[in-house]
């Protein structure tokens, strides 16, 4: 198949390209390299803003839309931009998919679940107060999901929505945008202190980006569905920091900061795990790496 991957220079996107090429698809990457790095010479690369995709006349059988502005911690991206740009990209991608009769596979996020207890794809979603700008990323994805599903119902768009839980690999960014695991590893290797928000007992689920990419690839034949991808293994943030410090023989210290100092009135998610029952049923989804194996691989690669 002829496949387009927007955001194909990012973490999941780069692994997805490897998987699609392995399966003998022809792969084009469209990415403006705001965050990622194009590392696969076997793909056709287009350095382009996704919002301008409809000036690109080539048709595709499948469009994977992974490009996204994400929540960041250094103030380099405004929350209003996150909502505007993510919606504008989704609208442009939907238009492209409709014109070309392409199947759309959209990367959403587990953030939209908030403090869910079940993480079921069909459960009602409750978001926090709009006075807290940290909800902007989750809201942008939620809005895009609704926009896509409206077109599924009204315009016969073919689309699968994938809600991605935490993942990492040696290709992860070492900043906060890459998540706490690669950030902690980078700090530990530099013997720098690791900051944890609150008591560190909040749980997260971290899988290998290769497993996530495999799940994306296997969704090509799936119908109009919402599917979780990730792992149901839960680890506390504190456990991860301690494990990384031990594995790297680091002199880093763990510094605990009050949640309110970092998040204000944002209700931080206390427990997160990927409920992948539906993915197992629809695409025979498998988790091949434990969180510890993901960490060990990153440490091994980054120590070289």
CA–CA distance from 98 to each of 146, 155, 158, 166, 224 (Å)?
Answer: 16, 8, 9, 30, 15
Q: What is the pLDDT of residues 103-158, one digit of tens each?
A: 999 999 999 998 899 999 999 988 878 877 888 899 999 999 999 999 999 988 99
202 in a domain, yes or no? no
State residue 2's pLDDT score.
Answer: 97
285 in a domain, yes or no? yes
Q: What is the pLDDT of residues 261-286, one digit of tens each?
A: 666 666 677 889 999 999 999 999 99
For residue 12, count CB atoms less than 10 angstroms from its CB and return exposed for 0-12, middle for 13-18, buried for 19 or more: buried
pLDDT for 72 beyond 60 = no
263 in a domain, yes or no? no
pLDDT for 9 beyond 90 = yes
Q: What is the pLDDT of residues 218-228, one digit of tens each?
A: 999 999 999 99
Tell me the CATH number at 157: 3.40.50.720
72 in a domain, yes or no? yes
45 in a domain, yes or no? yes
187 in a domain, yes or no? no
152 in a domain, yes or no? yes
| Mean pLDDT in residue range 207-228 | 97
pLDDT band, very low/low/confident/very high, at 75 (cuts 50, 70, 90): low
pTM of the model: 0.94
Structure tokens at 253: 């210290």
Short-list 31, 118, 91, 100, CA closest to 63? 100
Question: Rounded to whole angstroms, how far apart are CA atoms 88 and 147?
Answer: 11
How many domains does the chain contain in total?
1
Active site residues: 137
End-to-end CA distance of the chain: 37
Q: Which residues contact 146 (CB under 8 A, 6 or more apart)?
A: none
State residue 262's pLDDT score.
Answer: 60
State residue 39's pLDDT score.
Answer: 81
Domain membership of residue 146 as a residue range: 2-168+207-232+273-289
258 in a domain, yes or no? no
């Amino acid at each position: 198949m002829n496949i387009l991957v927007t955001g194909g220079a990012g973490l999941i996107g780069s692994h997805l390209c490897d998987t699609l090429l392995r399966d003998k698809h022809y792969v084009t990457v469209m990415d403006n390299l705001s965050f990622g790095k194009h590392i696969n010479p076997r793909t056709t690369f287009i350095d382009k803003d996704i919002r301008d995709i409809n000036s690109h006349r080539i048709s595709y059988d499948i469009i994977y839309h992974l490009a996204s502005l994400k929540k960041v911690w250094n103030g380099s991206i405004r929350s209003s931009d996150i909502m505007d740009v993510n919606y504008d990209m989704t609208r442009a991608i939907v238009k492209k998919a409709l014109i070309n009769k392409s199947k759309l596979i959209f990367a959403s996020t587990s953030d939209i679940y908030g403090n869910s207890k079940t993480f079921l794809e069909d459960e009602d979603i409750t978001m926090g107060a709009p006075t807290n700008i940290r909800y902007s990323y989750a809201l942008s994805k939620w809005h895009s999901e609704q926009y896509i599903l409206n077109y599924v119902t009204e315009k016969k768009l073919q689309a699968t929505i994938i809600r991605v839980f935490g993942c990492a690999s040696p290709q992860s960014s070492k900043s906060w945008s890459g998540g706490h695991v690669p950030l902690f590893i980078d700090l530990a290797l530099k013997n720098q202190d690791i900051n944890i928000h609150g008591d560190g007992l909040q749980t997260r689920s971290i899988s290998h980006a290769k497993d996530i990419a495999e799940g994306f690839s296997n969704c090509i034949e799936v119908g109009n569905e919402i599917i979780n991808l990730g792992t149901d293994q839960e680890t506390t943030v504190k456990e991860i920091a301690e494990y990384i410090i031990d594995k790297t023989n680091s002199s880093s210290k763990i510094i605990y900061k009050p949640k309110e100092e970092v998040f204000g009135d944002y209700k931080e998610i206390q427990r997160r795990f990927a409920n992948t029952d539906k993915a197992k049923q629809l695409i025979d989804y498998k988790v091949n790496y434990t969180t510890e194996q993901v960490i060990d691989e990153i440490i091994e690669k980054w120590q070289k």
